[in-house]
Amino acid sequence: MITNVLVTGANGQLAQTIKELYQKNKDNIKFTFVAKSDLELTNHNQVDKLFSAQVFNYCINCAAYTNVEQAEDSKTLAFNVNAEAVKNLATICKANSTTLIHISTDYVFNGEKKQPYKETDNTNPLNNYGASKLKGEAYIPQFIDSYFIIRTSWLYSKFGKNFYKTISNKIKEQTNLKITTAETGTPTSCVDLANAIYFLIASKNKNYGLYHFSNLGQATWYEFAKEIALVMGHYNLDKIQPVDFFKTKAKRPQFSVLDKSKISTILPQEIPHWKEALNNLFKII
């Protein structure tokens, strides 16, 4: 029996990682990838038409408005993509008995806690991006019971635009860098998140609800940049200078490490430390 999985946000780094790792799987899981040009998620009729034409057992919603800075000026657009489109997906998934796997963010928290955030901790986003993602989260349990909301943090991969790619390109050019120490979180490899999502589908897990997933450990952006340089080699680490303040339009949580104890109870193996995950990615690039 084939399990059909719809993946939205096909041009994003997580969807591209899922495609590379699992499109040719041997578990009778068939993936269909749709980008914004194929499907406008804010258009209820368009989404409904797609689900009417094909049976999907799962929908992985990787589509999101992720430009944190621009979301401060484009609030309506951010809320349309990160909240209203999610409402559409939730209602249509419910009507078609499709399990929704939705990707959310550590930015739903204000960063004032000094210990890793649990799923039960109070949310209080500091910026429009975080607020729009939180509203999307809130819609889901209102309209569907069979869902996984997975909050993650500091995603990177070899695809798209992300901190890892930006820094690695600067290092190749031997550029001097100034990187902030003001934020502490956990860099998360799309490979490990994709593996966790795939496990939920392949094992037909029904422990629905809200989960946190990132790699283990914590770092500042400065520490992450230094580790990228260390892994790449041929670069003087002294060329990366720490700065305690970096002017941005959007406020960001100073501490957004996620507690993974809940999701660890259902995953088959331990989540890799972020340094190990970075090394693993570098080996396959």
Active site residue ranges: 129
Positive or negative: CA dihedral 266, 269, 273, 275: negative
Which candidate, 103, 112, 189, places its Cα nearest to that of 147? 103
Residue 132 main-chain phi, psi, to 5 deg: -70, -40
The DSSP annotation for 177-189 comes to: EEEE-S-EE--EE
Residue 7 main-chain phi, psi, to 5 deg: -120, 115
Residue 217: how many CB atoms within 10 A of its CB? 16
Q: Would you give the DSSP letter of residue 207? A: -
**Residue 206 in contact with residue 145, Cβ under 8 Å?**
no
Cα–Cα dist 114/241, whole Å: 25
- Regarding beta strands 184-185 and 219-220, do their DSSP bridges make them parallel or antiparallel, or are they unpaired? antiparallel
> Residue 258 forms beta bridges with which residues?
117
Cα–Cα dist 21/32, whole Å: 14
**Residue 162 in contact with residue 253, Cβ under 8 Å?**
no
CA distances to 140, 249, 269 from 211, rounded to whole Å, are 14, 29, 16
CB neighbour list of residue 238: distance below 8 Å, 6 or more residues apart: none
